[in-house]
Amino acid sequence: MSDDRRLDVLRAIVQDYVRTSEPVGSKSLLERHQLGVSAATVRNDMAVLEEEGLITAPHTSAGRVPTDAGYRLFVDRLQQIKPMTRAERTAIARFLDGAVDLDDVVSRTTRLLSSLTQQVAVMQYPSLSRSTVRHVELVPVGGTRLMIVLIVNTGRVEQRVVDVGRDLTLEPEVVAQLRALVNELTVGERLSIVAAGTAAIGDRVVPADRALAEVVLDALAVAADEQTEERIAMAGTGNLARVGSDFPTSLSQVLEALEEHVVLLRLMGSMASLDDASAVAVSIGAENPYEPLRTTSVVATTYGPAGGLGVVGPTRMDYPQAMATVRAVAHYVADILDG
């Protein structure tokens, strides 16, 4: 029973410190929470929590603040992520449904996450290498040029214009047959295996059209292997300025780390490797593998197999609210991109 009571005390300390940013003393705990025990018992529980490294005294005052380990235990012992209200879910859906293209989806998502959590919002653009083909269109654009349009399940559109060495505006039936064959073999397939999966196309076209098919396949392979699409979008870095005192080291180091998109891509990738697509990963303080971000916490999840999103902020974060918001927004983003 004492362990459960101490967990209640820790939970109360975390909640009060997140709300007030002031060290929490036993007197304020008794005033704000129905702990059902005496002041002496609360002080004893706080002493045990401090011995266990879950809370600490920032200075000589009687107040205590949670440590990274304390936040970790708090997060791990959450019985469940509190669901968002119907009004909150409706507002999210309405805001994101207004997006007109992928860039708008990403922009709206980061702005929404930042606004709802008051943290820095980070979103990875859908990765082509982890996307699947929705449709391939072949469009003669004059002379010997052919436009190849690759549309993937996340809504990304890649275009390539290639010289095929013949005027296909005069051969619409050839274009139609090749288009049908390419889509038959690629739709629903991961882009990472498209090149290998379409190698047999050359055997299914007449000899006179094999050179044409090879040009189209080469262009698709280039699109599938493209690496420059790995991008990150951010919003709300100004939120960190409001809580600059929460960072024991220079806030500028955190901001510089956030500008390193390679670091964020790796961070999103490592945290988004979740067995449960609806799970939310939380990395707290020193748990972060990148030194400049070890004064921050990251809450992230996936919005499907193609990318991740989340928020970055101080360890003094409202974890239940951030986790619920990240999960809800990811759900709506996945629905929009899969729709």
Tens digit of pLDDT for each residue in 30-42?
Answer: 888 888 888 899 8
Tens digit of pLDDT for each residue in 283-317?
Answer: 999 898 888 888 889 999 988 766 889 999 999 99
Q: Which two tokens stand for residue 58?
A: 């920032």
Tell me the CA end-to-end span of the chain in Å, nearest whole number: 50
Contact 282, 75 (CB under 8 A): yes
Helix axes 2-20 and 39-51, enclosed angle (nearest 10): 90
Find where tokens 């013949």 sit.
166
Q: Give, as one character, the DSSP assignment of residue 208.
A: G
Q: Give, as one character, the DSSP assignment of residue 63.
A: -
| Neighbouring residues of 101: CB distance < 8 A, sequence distance ≥ 6 | 155
Domains and CATH numbers, the chain: 2-76 (1.10.10.10), 86-127+230-338 (3.30.450.40), 130-225 (3.30.390.60)
Helix axes 102-117 and 319-338, enclosed angle (nearest 10): 170
pLDDT (0 to 100) of residue 275: 54
Q: Which two tokens stand for residue 189?
A: 């397939």
Q: With 80 as the cut, is the pLDDT of residue 53 above it?
A: yes
Q: Give, as one character, the DSSP assignment of residue 32.
A: H
Q: With 90 as the cut, is the pLDDT of residue 137 above it?
A: yes
Share of the chain above pLDDT 70, in %: 88
Q: What confidence tier does 228 reach under pLDDT thresholds 50, 70, 90?
A: very low
Contact 223, 195 (CB under 8 A): no
Tens digit of pLDDT for each residue in 203-227?
Answer: 788 888 888 888 888 888 777 665 4
Question: What residues pair up with 149 in beta bridges, in sequence order?
Answer: 137, 159
